[in-house]
């Protein structure tokens, strides 16, 4: 799927002040793509602000070494201070609920909005969608924007975009990794992304709190549906007792599908504001985005998420029930 970048080129031609944002609980693809997009727009002489609804997880602080790029809506900047922004560029999301506290601001935003994304699920965000659902990461699409709009991949931009692609491919292990992925990575390494340094910064900066949370979570891993489902829960108390922060739960869901025989892995995380976030991961094709959609969430086929309003035990039961049924239906249709 190729993207026609003309709508973005036209906006660059006709506007000066851009606002870039991404999804709540931003991951490497979200933040790395922002580094890339901000770099591209600045090379085009644009005034760019990057404002997110969530704080930057410490793990990704290296993407903004002098803390001059990422601003936080509500904390550093309110809607009033963004009144001069002419164009809104939204990265790595296509759903209202992924905008968090910025949803109202985005709804009211008077100027044009563009979404650059690769998610299957899609709401009508009143935006021009520059989308390729076959892309492994939004970062890949930003690399293509550099090619098509004529930008230079600087070491800083290449570091952001390599982080984006690395995180959404599980460090080049998931089935969305292909030869073209690796060619893109090679181009980013040529441009100055230091793959060993990025790996160290992403995976070897664990805090004691995160490692303890990992241990706690793994010690409570359960299976269901004759070992086809593996799931774990993280409560607010778990965070307090281990000294972890909410962002420390990123990637822990991967352990659930690392178990032999597991088709669907689930991680349930109690949210500070109430409700339970569930992350879904599948192996061998069960549609996580479809399952998450039933609970108001979305994502990709192999990785999706949703937030349920119910307490933990009910959330677990509701989702387990839906996954068991989906596995049974899947089993019948493929039998």
- Residue 168 near Mn ion by CB under 5 A: yes
CA atoms within 13 A on the CB side of 320: 20
- Residue 305 near ligand AMP by CB under 6 A: yes
The dihedral built from the CA positions of residue 316, 319, 325 and 329, taken in this order, carries a sign that is negative
Instruction: Give dist(CA 85, CA 97) in Å, integer.
Output: 22
- Residue 12 near ligand AMP by CB under 6 A: no
- Residue 304 near ligand AMP by CB under 6 A: yes
**Which distant-in-sequence residues (6+ apart) come within 8 Å of 100 by Cβ?**
23, 24, 53, 54
Q: Running DSSP on this structure, what letter comes out for residue 309?
A: S
The window from 83-91, 120-128, 137-145, 279-287 that contacts Mn ion (CB under 5 A) reads 137-145
CB of 42 to ligand AMP, least distance (A): 26
Instruction: Give dist(CA 91, CA 273) in Å, integer.
Output: 24
- Residue 63 near ligand AMP by CB under 6 A: no
CB of 272 to ligand AMP, least distance (A): 16
Q: Within a 10 A sphere around the Cβ of 55, how many other Cβ atoms?
A: 16
Of 75-104, which residues contact ligand AMP (CB under 6 A)?
Answer: 95, 97-98
- Residue 59 near ligand AMP by CB under 6 A: no
- Backbone φ and ψ for 332, nearest 5 degrees, come out as -65, -40
The window from 109-117, 133-141, 159-167, 305-313 that contacts ligand AMP (CB under 6 A) reads 305-313
Q: Which residue has the tokens 């949210």?
A: 271
- Residue 117 near Mn ion by CB under 5 A: no
Q: Which residues make up the interface to ligand AMP (CB under 6 A)?
A: 23, 95, 97-98, 119, 121, 279, 297-300, 303-307
Q: Which residues make up the interface to Mn ion (CB under 5 A)?
A: 27, 29-30, 92, 138, 168
């Amino acid at each position: 799927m190729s993207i026609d970048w003309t709508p973005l080129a036209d906006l660059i031609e006709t506007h000066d002040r851009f606002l870039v944002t991404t999804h709540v609980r931003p991951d490497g693809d979200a933040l790395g793509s922002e580094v890339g997009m901000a770099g591209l727009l600045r090379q085009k002489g644009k005034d760019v602000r990057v404002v997110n609804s969530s704080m930057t997880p410490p793990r990704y602080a290296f993407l903004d070494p002098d803390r001059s790029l990422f601003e936080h809506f509500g904390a550093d900047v309110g809607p009033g201070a963004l009144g001069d922004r002419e164009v809104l560029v939204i990265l790595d999301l296509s759903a209202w609920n992924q905008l968090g506290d910025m949803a109202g601001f985005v709804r009211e935003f008077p100027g044009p909005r563009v979404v650059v994304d690769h998610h299957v699920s899609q709401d009508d965000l009143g935006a021009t969608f520059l989308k390729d659902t076959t892309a492994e990461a939004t970062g890949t699409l930003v690399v293509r924007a550099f090619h098509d709009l004529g930008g230079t991949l600087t070491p800083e931009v290449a570091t952001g975009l390599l982080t984006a692609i690395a995180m959404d491919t599980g460090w080049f292990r998931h089935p969305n990794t292909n030869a073209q992925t690796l060619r893109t990575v090679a181009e980013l390494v040529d441009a100055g992304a230091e793959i060993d340094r990025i790996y160290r910064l992403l995976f070897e900066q664990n805090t004691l709190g995160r490692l303890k949370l990992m241990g706690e979570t793994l010690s409570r891993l359960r299976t269901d549906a004759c070992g086809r489902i593996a799931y774990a829960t993280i409560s607010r108390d778990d965070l307090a007792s281990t000294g972890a922060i909410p962002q420390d739960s990123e990637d822990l869901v991967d352990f659930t599908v690392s178990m032999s025989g597991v088709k669907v892995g689930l991680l349930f995380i109690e949210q500070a504001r109430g409700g339970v976030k569930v992350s879904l991961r599948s192996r061998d094709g069960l549609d996580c985005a479809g399952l998450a959609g039933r609970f108001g969430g979305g994502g990709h086929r192999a990785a999706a998420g949703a937030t349920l309003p119910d307490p933990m035990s009910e959330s677990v039961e509701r989702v387990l029930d839906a996954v068991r049924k989906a596995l049974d239906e899947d089993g019948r249709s493929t039998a």
